[in-house]
Structure 1
Amino acid sequence: MLPEAAAGQLVRICDAGAGAPVVLAVPYAGGSAQSFFAWKPLLDGQLTLLALELPGRGRCYGQPMPASLLALADGLAQTLATEGVQPDLLFGHSLGALIAFELLRAMRRRGRSLPAAALMSGRIAPSHPRTFGLPRFGREYLVEYLRDLGGTPDSVLNNDAVIDMMLPVLQQDLELIAGYDYAPAAPLDIDLTAAGGFDDGRVPLSGLLGWHEECTGRYALHMHPGGHFFVETERTAMAALLCELAARGPRAKAA
């Protein structure tokens, strides 16, 4: 049994065997580890992909969400320590990028080795206003928010039963962002790549460039066609980027 401080669960999406780079992926608001199974055909044999299942959904249904994003990150760091997982690359999209950032900080506080690199996708830098682009809470506003983001099919948005299941988790996730307080600290000693969509009005270029302040290693910016969910519409390009970045990790270099 995991210690009380642990949070979430690791889900193995694909396994490329000993010596292959290990990527840890964190889902976006309202999402789950399940969404990363669509990436498996693009990554099989090239890297091992682990996805974090966050509390309250999927395999962690019923597990309470920690009171804050910082508490969640600390609990996820405990989960990695308990499982003995040392990723070469951390990847998060939208809320997942913010969680990944604070997870890296939590790992550093615990004295754990950090991944060589991180890919922060579809999220403004944490030093920027946290509530930028967030909707008002309430069913009508959250459904319109999902519609505006463009990642949810109309068949879902028009299905009241499905929406009733989705919205509590989405609102819980968005409340994590709204309650997040960024604390300035020393930059992370890693390489960091930011990725964005050309048509994503909720994540301006200035917000992506702000990630440069959070690392001492190499910083790069990759822009892709599409809106907020370019991470799915441009999945092939994003998978290739994951493979490229993960291959720079120490495990891959030693193989």
Structure 2
Amino acid sequence: MKTPTTRWLRCLQPRPDAATRLICLPHAGGSASAYRAWPQLVGERIEVHTVQYPGREDRFGEPFVDDMATAVDRIAAEIAPLTRRRYALFGHSMGGAIAYEVAALLDRRGLPAPAHLFVSGRQPPVHHRGGTVHTWDDDRLGTELLRLSPANADLLSEPELAALVLPIVRNDYRLIERYRPGERTVLPVPITALIGSDDGELTVAEAGDWASYTDRAFRLHEFPGDHFYLVDRRRAVTDLVAATLGAASVPPLSTP
């Protein structure tokens, strides 16, 4: 990972001649490194940036942010300078909700809209369900992580690692479970929703309702897998993103 350029954003591999900046927002408990393989997969025409939430990786020890409004405001402020060039947003799970709210805030502030919004493994705000997972003890929280994906067993089998990760997960659950969506903002942005076929967190019908949050094109793609389908289907997902953004045909922009 390259040297951070801002407090909340990391440019994983600078590409000055890229046609599009892709800004990725991780899931609850996730970090910037979740997207570390993406620059090599999306191609030279896309420059991948990813949000680094506080309290993890190179921001370990910083106070958590556990409310949506604060996170969205701070992320939007750092994305704002990047909107002078063509950009897109991709968010998975909690990151999908944050990506939508960031796009809505940038729209209210009169800044250029993203070329595309990708929301993965996340129901639209109209179907938002709160929850109390953030109040559960470590054992019960660990069981919830296993329900979402058996792959989390490796993390939970190492007590020292689990002791580091579970507070991060709990904080992020607190953020998303206390999130209260405001009035619907219909974005002037094409939206693509992505879902795992065995995701117990949302249905295809719910994901399809993202169509009512855009006045542009909408597409829904279903992939084999659970809530974290995009780990095993990384190549298919990044191919879809690159094709959607037309990375091979869009000329580079020289504007900073």
Question: Is the CA contact (8 Å cut-off) linking 2:29 and 2:165 kept in structure 1?
Answer: yes
Aligned to 2:3: none
| Separation in 2, partners of 1:47, 1:215 | 23
Cα deviation 1:206-239 (Å, max 9, x = unaligned): 2201211111110000000011111111001001
Instruction: Give the aligned residue type for 1:199.
Output: D
Give unmatched runs, 5+ long, in structure 2.
1-5
Q: What is the Cα deviation at residue 164 of structure 1?
A: 0.6
- How many residue pairs were aligned? 248
Cα distance in 2 for partners of 1:213, 1:228 equals 23
CA distance in 2, matches of 1:129, 1:76: 21
Q: Which amino acid aligns with 2:58?
A: R
* Runs of at least 5 residues in structure 1 that lack an aligned partner in the other structure: 1-6
- Kindly state the Cα deviation for residue 246 of structure 1 after the two structures are TM-superposed: 2.0
> Could you tell me how far apart the structure 1 residues matched to 2:65 and 2:32 are?
18
Say if 1:236 and 1:199 are closer, same or farther in 2 by CA, change over 3 A. same
Letter in 1 for 2:241: L
Which residue number in structure 1 is paired with residue 140 of structure 2? 141
Cα distance, 1:151 vs structure 2: 5.9
8 A contact 2:17–2:45 mirrored in 1? no
Does the 8 Å contact 1:196/1:208 carry over to 2? yes
- After TM superposition, the structure 1 = structure 2 runs for residues 30-179 of structure 1, keeping only pairs within 5 Å, are 30-81=29-80, 86=85, 88-131=87-130, 137-150=136-149, 152-179=151-178
The CA deviation string for residues 31-54 of structure 1, in whole angstroms up to 9 with x for no partner, is 100111122331242311111111
Aligned-residue identity in percent: 27
**Other-structure match for 1:252:** 250
Q: 1-side partners of 2:234 and 2:243: how far apart? A: 14
In 2, distance between residues paired with 1:88 and 1:133?
35
For normalisation by structure 1, the TM-score amounts to: 0.88
Q: Quick one: structure 1 residues 248 and 37, their matched pair in 2 at CA, closer, same or farther if it must change by over 3 Å?
A: closer
Q: Secondary structure at the match of 1:127?
A: helix
Return the alpha-carbon distance in structure 2 between the equivalents of residues 8 and 65 of structure 1. 13
Amino acid of the structure 1 residue aligned with 2:206: G
Measure, in 2, the Cα distance between the counterparts of 1:100 and 1:134: 22
**Is 1:23 aligned to 2:22, yes or no?**
yes
Q: Residues 155, 68 of structure 1: CA spacing in aligned structure 2 closer, same or farther, 3 A cutoff?
A: closer
Match in the other structure for 1:4: none
Mean CA deviation greater in 138-147 or 167-176: 138-147
CA distance in 2 between counterparts of 1:119 and 1:48 reads 16
Looking at structure 1, the residues matched to 72 and 56 of structure 2 have their Cα atoms a distance apart, in angstroms, of: 17
- Indicate the residue corresponding to 2:194 in structure 1: 195
Contact kept, 8 Å, 2:23 with 2:90, in 1: the verdict is yes
Structure 1 Cα separation of the partners of residues 190 and 17 of structure 2 = 23
